[in-house]
Structure 1
């Protein structure tokens, strides 16, 4: 669903889609091609070479049919009302992302992983959780090229799965940025074909309707790799990108920043955590609110 609204000083384009049909990679590539058609009246040779892979696909080893439970039979639990949460933007410049990468002191860690680890550590630091509690960093992983055999990069659909880095609060606080970034990197590297098959088999055996996550989770959606600001529908390039609901505590929607190499995180947190982050000098050294 797409809605275009003319505003006093610009044009707002809103869109929504069901993630059972397509993931973020598919949707942003669709928008990239659509905007190119609108602004230029044609599709580039590179875009023409991209063919939507519409053939139905699932793991051969998985038995059918898949029994989907009635979502109304057991309502999903909600951990926090959106009225009790505060939404704000975190901005990390390219320079600060590289500084965090260097501070992590691990050649395998990317600047994005280091920035995410910095936010995760800071959020948990002010969460009020005990050292024994577990905290999770959930991150969507594009599995197209990780499968065996790999799928085409332009395969349209939902070919992502959620990777979860699990640690205790005490471990996170004691070991710091480099260790946390390493855990995120380790989790990403563990997403293999075998891991995906095992997850699919488990899901088919016991299909669960997604429920709200708890305040201990850092739930990352979208990706800094999606081409957001390259879209031009004929009215000029975008000046900002924002995500809509659902509003759950700990959700962190990632966008590439307007400036090349920078990162934007649309965060949804408890007001008391936001207040403490706004006063945290160490956090604000690398992140602007």
Structure 2
């Protein structure tokens, strides 16, 4: 399997590590507009070599696009123009509808499988790549009926090789869901970091910062060049999620001010998240109508 990975940062690099380790990929060719990243990726063995886009996809069996979503929107149609009829193309973008719409009428639309592996860290660049980053996580495949069966099967096999479960949903459903469980936490972390930095004696605050603050604000270290386009492409659903979050913040603030009993009720209700995240109520985590344990033959 000749695999070409466009974008050699955290996601692309981690995919390269996993696909090489499990034997899914016999060769890995990289593409990266950042010359420093391209050099690093070669030096640390993420890829066998780095080539220009046209050369890298010419003989690829599989092309994985792992760059910011605004760049995917431009590069994805170019890749479909360049690949052979038998080549499978997928992307790892956190938004899906804008990307799927960009190639909806493309002659090779069936070569493309819209996907989003639900995993990552706040770090970036080739040296951030981690082996096993995707193990036991969920990969979302969107609008699978628009992909050719052989291309869908290959991407399913790729995610299985990386140890992932697979959820199937429409591009719009995925954008709505990830607005709440992925995009909102990042937006809240950026706002929290700015709120603390806005305090005049912030140096004292940072001296006192403990694990709770650090873990809460960790996502604010994420790269703006990646997250800005995500917020913009999924603007309506991100705004919706923020409005819901702000409503709950205001409710909690007012309970602190005016109603101590309600304050405790809100905190106890929030504690129910333990059973969700701890797997005690699987129906709240995995909708079995969406996550399918059998795959395309």
Q: TM-score range by the shorter chain?
A: under 0.3
Greater RCO, 1 or 2 (C-alpha within 8 Å, sep 6+): 1
TM-score between both structures, scaled by the size of structure 1: 0.25
Q: Which structure dedicates a bigger proportion of its chain to strand?
A: 1
Q: Which structure dedicates a bigger proportion of its chain to helix?
A: 2
TM-score between both structures, scaled by the size of structure 2: 0.24
